[in-house]
Structure 1
């Protein structure tokens, strides 16, 4: 069952908010969107990323998660925004997601089992993506990240 914002409920969730990171990765004027193959947000396009491990900095977590999920090397530009995803129902997750702007540095995407598709999309084309399920707040984060990349 999906929560508001497209996140799927998991059978067991911690009793506290979880810190996560995501990256709006830009290459040749386009941003990388990845489709989640499992919960949370199964079937939704979003930004690569995941949970921050204990003792890890946000940048370390972001570089690790991007490498694990896509195989890409990135250069982190800066914080593009954050989003809190509150539990919409009993058993649902509570996340604080810190989203960063990043530049593609090297390698081609090779997806792990957490993802099943990817697309490089121009940020101004997001509004016209009929039929693609996008996680909540994605457009705002990408537009903010695009401004950081352009600065």
Structure 2
């Protein structure tokens, strides 16, 4: 990647738990993170996050709002990303692992007992949520 990429991520919360997926691909292989992905050309960030969330988890975001921005620099992989972060205020559907080639697991984690390794967008989203509290 020679120029920054633009992506998006979304936080799904339920009963004090956050939905996370374990990455199988670079960058951040093995880390747990919020659903998300690349924004396609001529696709709005909101369209992209609704698509990515459904493709990855089977959940359909209802009311969503922007949390902020996450910037990630991965020097070893020569990747640079800007991500627009969202919070799903409502959602429906049944959680499923729909992309096993990209993700090694999916689960709800209590906010006080998160996996040891989190993706940068997830860390940034959690910081933004804590600032609002």
The alignment partner of 1:85 has SS state of strand
| Structure 1 residues 87 and 144, CA gap change in structure 2 (3 angstroms) | closer
Contact map agreement 1:52 1:61 (CA 8 A) in 2: yes
**Residue number among 100, 109, 123 corresponding to 2:86 in the alignment:** 100
Partner of 2:70: 83
Partner of 1:3: none
Contact map agreement 1:76 1:100 (CA 8 A) in 2: no
**Residue number among 107, 111, 115 corresponding to 2:103 in the alignment:** 115
Contact map agreement 2:83 2:121 (CA 8 A) in 1: no
How far apart are the structure 1 equivalents of 2:36 and 2:121? 15
What is the Cα deviation at residue 137 of structure 1?
5.5
Partner of 2:120: 136
Task: Output the aligned Cα RMSD.
Answer: 2.2
How far apart are the structure 1 equivalents of 2:13 and 2:51? 17
| Structure 1 residues 139 and 29, CA gap change in structure 2 (3 angstroms) | same
Unaligned stretches of 5+ in structure 1? 1-12
- Count of matched residue positions in the alignment of Structure 1 and Structure 2: 131
Partner of 2:52: 65
Give matches, 1:49-60, under 5 Å. 49-60=36-47
How far apart are the structure 2 equivalents of 1:28 and 1:104? 13
- Corresponding position: 1:36 with 2:23: yes
How far apart are the structure 2 equivalents of 1:147 and 1:105? 26
| Structure 1 residues 147 and 120, CA gap change in structure 2 (3 angstroms) | farther
- TM-score, structure 1 length as denominator? 0.75
User: 71-80 or 52-61: which moved more?
Assistant: 71-80
Structure (1/2) with the larger strand percentage: 2
How far apart are the structure 1 equivalents of 2:62 and 2:131? 16
